[in-house]
């Protein structure tokens, strides 16, 4: 367990190609669910957890993302503009000078979740053991995701240790787009664009990647149909969503 982190990053630079045509003129994190943008919801979670400074990377529709960020009072925002997309891993590596020496949150700009009894970000901090891990991932049960037909991302043992699916294996958990990572996860990372999956696989081999299973609501938002389904599913949860703002 560590103290609640004070820094984080939101990945908001991607093109959101699977969400076209909605993303033809709008960055995916600016799409709204139940009247609030995905970007604002991610920043709301970080603010509620006590995060004071957040790096947000930009690329597609950067001016519109920048304007949305300027409308916020907190947390303090540092923009990391990418002329060339650096993918998830390269984006964090570029932002490391702003993220400091302590563990920090990384949230995908299209992640949507509602907390269970204890906020997910607090659960990640409670599960983070710097002596035993380089990152803790938030994962969600694939069986609870409507219409999901993939093989899953990870298996998680009772101690929270993570592994990838074996050949032809279906595993029960999906990455929920939220992690708490130490700078050590990115030690020796390649230059330029690359996926954080590369570093997770390295941490798995070293036995230093763990996970927390989300106990609230999480929605997979990849296509316009997913977004429409999310609106339908959440239409009866107005009071819960208001409390999450």
pLDDT of 242 above 70: no
Mean pLDDT of the region 73-97: 96
> Which comes out higher in pLDDT, residue 14 or 96?
96
Per-residue confidence (pLDDT) for residue 241, from 0 to 100? 45
Average pLDDT, the chain: 90
Q: Is 170 left (phi over 0), alpha (psi -120 to 50) or beta?
A: beta
User: Is residue 28 a part of any domain in this protein?
Assistant: yes
CATH classification at residue 22: 3.90.550.10
User: Is residue 135 a part of any domain in this protein?
Assistant: yes
pLDDT of 155 above 60: yes
Structure confidence at residue 198 as a pLDDT band (50, 70, 90): very high
User: Is residue 2 a part of any domain in this protein?
Assistant: no
d(C-alpha 197, C-alpha 212), whole Å: 17
Q: What is the pTM of this model?
A: 0.91
d(C-alpha 24, C-alpha 21), whole Å: 5
pLDDT of 99 above 90: yes
pLDDT of 240 above 60: no
Mean pLDDT of the region 168-172: 90
> Which comes out higher in pLDDT, residue 151 or 215?
215
pLDDT of 237 above 90: no
User: Is residue 123 a part of any domain in this protein?
Assistant: yes
Say if residues 130 and 103 touch (Cβ distance below 8 Å): yes
pLDDT of 232 above 60: yes
User: Which pLDDT tens digit goes with each residue over 103-131?
Assistant: 999 999 999 999 999 999 999 999 999 99
pLDDT of 136 above 90: yes
Q: At what angle do helices 38-48 and 120-127 cross, to 10 degrees?
A: 50
Mean pLDDT of the region 212-232: 86
Per-residue confidence (pLDDT) for residue 150, from 0 to 100? 80
User: Is residue 20 a part of any domain in this protein?
Assistant: yes
Nearest CA-CA partner of 46 in 145, 115, 135: 115
Number of domains in the chain: 1
User: Is residue 1 a part of any domain in this protein?
Assistant: no
Mean pLDDT of the region 18-27: 86
Scanning the structure block, which residue is given the tokens 């699916």? 165
Per-residue confidence (pLDDT) for residue 97, from 0 to 100? 96
The whole domain housing 39 covers: 7-244
User: Which pLDDT tens digit goes with each residue over 32-41?
Assistant: 888 889 999 9
> Which comes out higher in pLDDT, residue 54 or 3?
54
Per-residue confidence (pLDDT) for residue 228, from 0 to 100? 82
* Residue 154 CA from chain centroid, whole number: 16
Scanning the structure block, which residue is given the tokens 């947390």? 75
pLDDT of 245 above 60: no
Please write down the long-range contacts of 200-209, taking CB distance under 8 Å and 24 or more positions apart: 200/135, 200/137, 200/162, 201/164, 203/133, 203/134, 203/135, 204/162, 204/163, 204/164, 206/134, 207/161, 208/132, 208/133, 208/134, 208/135, 209/133, 209/134, 209/135, 209/137, 209/161, 209/162
Token pair of 92 as six digits? 């964090």
User: Is residue 99 a part of any domain in this protein?
Assistant: yes
Structure confidence at residue 231 as a pLDDT band (50, 70, 90): confident
Pairing of strands 36-37, 53-58: unpaired
């Amino acid at each position: 367990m560590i103290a609640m982190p004070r820094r984080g990053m939101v990945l908001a630079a991607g093109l959101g190609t699977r969400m076209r045509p909605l993303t033809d003129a709008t960055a995916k994190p600016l799409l709204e669910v139940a009247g609030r943008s995905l970007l604002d919801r991610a920043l709301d979670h970080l603010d509620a957890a006590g995060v004071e400074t957040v790096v947000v990377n930009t690329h597609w529709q950067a001016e519109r993302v920048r304007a949305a960020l300027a409308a916020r009072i907190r947390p303090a925002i540092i923009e990391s503009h990418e002329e060339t997309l650096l993918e998830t891993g390269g984006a964090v590596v570029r932002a490391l000078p702003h993220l400091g020496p302590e563990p920090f949150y990384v949230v995908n700009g299209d992640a949507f979740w509602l907390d269970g009894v204890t906020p997910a970000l607090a659960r990640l901090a409670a599960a983070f053991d710097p002596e035993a891990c380089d990152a803790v991932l938030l994962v969600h049960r694939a069986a609870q995701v409507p219409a999901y037909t993939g093989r899953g991302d990870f298996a998680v043992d009772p101690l929270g240790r993570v592994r990838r699916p074996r050949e032809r294996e279906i595993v029960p958990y999906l990455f929920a787009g939220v992690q708490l990572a130490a700078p050590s996860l990115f030690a020796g990372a390649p230059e330029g664009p690359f996926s954080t999956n590369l570093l997770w696989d390295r941490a798995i081999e070293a036995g230093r990647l763990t996970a927390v299973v989300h106990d609230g609501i999480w929605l997979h938002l990849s296509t316009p149909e997913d977004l429409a389904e999310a609106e339908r599913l959440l239409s009866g949860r107005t009071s819960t969503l208001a409390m999450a703002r």
